[in-house]
């Protein structure tokens, strides 16, 4: 039986669904992460917990690499370890140097904050990033990218080779389960609870990180009201330590935007909504929220950024917007809400998301694993 282990961080439970798909393909599955173990026990998945700090810290990061190395040493011969997220994809190869019993696969899920804005500091950090990527690539058997832009960057800068890298867009979304909608009675109660009027409802779901474009969403919502458009605006997601915009700033817009914080009923909130907005200027892989909104037939408005433009096709399933531009966001909100093509956008969103179906992603990853095992 083929042994496959997924490695991630505090949200590694996102790999449970794809893990079950590989169990069906006769893989022996394990997961390594920094999350609480209860959800993995509940799903009958062998889980190993390790320590992983969110921020860069040389001492704790070295400790994490050493801890990971101990975990890798006891893996059976031929085990494939597949890492997701920035730090695990760097730490895994470093911890595996000199070990012959494991094969290393990584997925680059975006390139993060240092590629978001041009500055001297970010230029220096980009140089460091490239050096580290060249080093870790020496111990990587295969690299997967989630969008074309990131792949092109790595190829251009000689950080990977064509023969052991490829693009597999997103980590997949199980359309069979996610497309199943909630009954209208429950939705009606939720609509009443949120005091939504009969105008179009916009929604943004994200951590409240400044680089996700939260501030531009708030400002554009205010502008809509000032121009006489009485739309509903929902904002969903948790505050995120010191990188969040403040709750006080969000509350300044409370007469225009309903902030709901972290919610467990995101799917229902999406069903209540008409248009999904993501004005991010963060270098992401493929934002999962865009796929979830698409699966439920929401037209999309997102920035013309790597990852976003892999999902959003301008004038097909929504509109692409300029980065950090409140006026453009406002104009595109009104355009989509008032457009005769609204229903067409919604239908096309459901069609486009089929490209990212979990079953298709599993087939592509299976091909990668077979190639790695043969090498």
**pLDDT number for residue 122:** 87
Q: Using an 8 Å Cβ cutoff, are 78 and 373 in contact?
A: yes
**Is residue 209 within 8 Å of residue 278, measured between CB atoms?**
no
Q: Tell me the whole-structure pTM to 2 decimals.
A: 0.91
Distances in whole angstroms, Cα of residue 209 to Cα of each of 54, 64, 202, 273, 289: 14, 26, 19, 22, 15
Give the pLDDT confidence of 188-247 residue by residue, as tens digits.
899 999 999 999 999 999 999 889 999 999 999 999 999 999 999 999 999 876 677 899
For 127-161, the pLDDT digits (tens) are: 999 999 999 999 999 999 999 999 999 999 999 99
Q: Can you list the domains of the chain with their CATH numbers?
A: 2-172+357-374 (3.40.50.2000), 175-355 (3.40.50.2000)
Give pLDDT, residue 112: 80
The residues pairing with 158 across neighbouring beta strands, listed in sequence order, are none
pLDDT digits 0-9 by tens, 235-290: 999 987 667 789 999 999 999 999 999 999 999 999 999 999 999 998 889 999 99
Q: How many CA atoms lie within 13 A of 244 on its CB side?
A: 14
Per-residue pLDDT reduced to its tens digit, 289-345: 999 999 999 999 999 999 999 999 999 999 999 999 999 999 999 999 999 999 999
| Residues 6 or more apart whose Cβ sits within 8 Å of residue 42 | none
């Amino acid at each position: 039986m083929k042994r496959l282990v997924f490695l991630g961080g505090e949200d590694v439970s996102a790999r449970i669904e794809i893990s079950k798909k590989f169990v069906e393909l006769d893989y022996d599955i394990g997961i390594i992460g920094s999350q609480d173990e209860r959800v993995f026990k509940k799903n009958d998945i062998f889980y190993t917990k390790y320590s992983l700090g969110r921020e860069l810290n040389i001492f704790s990061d070295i400790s994490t690499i050493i801890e990971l190395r101990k975990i890798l040493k006891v893996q059976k011969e031929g085990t494939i370890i597949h890492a997701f997220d920035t730090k695990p994809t760097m730490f895994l190869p470093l911890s595996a140097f000199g070990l012959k019993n494991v094969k290393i696969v990584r997925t680059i899920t975006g390139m993060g904050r240092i590629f978001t804005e041009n500055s001297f500091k970010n230029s220096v950090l980009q140089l460091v990033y490239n050096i580290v990527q060249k080093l870790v690539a020496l111990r990587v058997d295969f690299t997967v990218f989630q969008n074309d832009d990131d792949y092109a960057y790595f190829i251009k800068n000689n950080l990977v080779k064509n023969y052991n890298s490829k693009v597999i867009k997103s980590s997949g979304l199980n359309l069979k389960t996610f497309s199943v909608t909630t009954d209208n009675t429950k939705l009606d109660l939720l609509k009443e609870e949120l005091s939504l009027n009969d105008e179009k409802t916009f929604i943004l779901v994200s951590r409240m990180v400044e680089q996700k474009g939260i501030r531009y969403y708030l400002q554009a919502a205010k502008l809509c009201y000032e121009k006489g458009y009485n739309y509903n605006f929902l904002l969903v997601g948790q505050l995120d330590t010191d990188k969040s915009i403040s709750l006080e700033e969000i509350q300044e817009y409370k007469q225009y935007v309903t902030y709901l914080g972290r919610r467990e009923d995101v799917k229902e909130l999406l069903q209540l909504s008409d248009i999904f907005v993501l004005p991010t200027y963060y270098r992401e892989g493929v934002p999962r929220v865009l796929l979830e909104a698409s699966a439920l037939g929401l037209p999309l408005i997102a920035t013309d950024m790597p990852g976003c433009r892999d999902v959003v096709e301008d004038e097909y399933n929504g509109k692409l917007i300029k980065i950090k531009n409140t006026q453009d966001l406002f104009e595109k909100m009104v355009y989509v809400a008032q457009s005769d093509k609204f229903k067409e956008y919604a239908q096309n969103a459901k069609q486009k998301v089929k490209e990212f179906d979990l079953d298709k992603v599993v087939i592509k990853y299976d091909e990668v694993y077979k190639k790695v095992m043969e090498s």
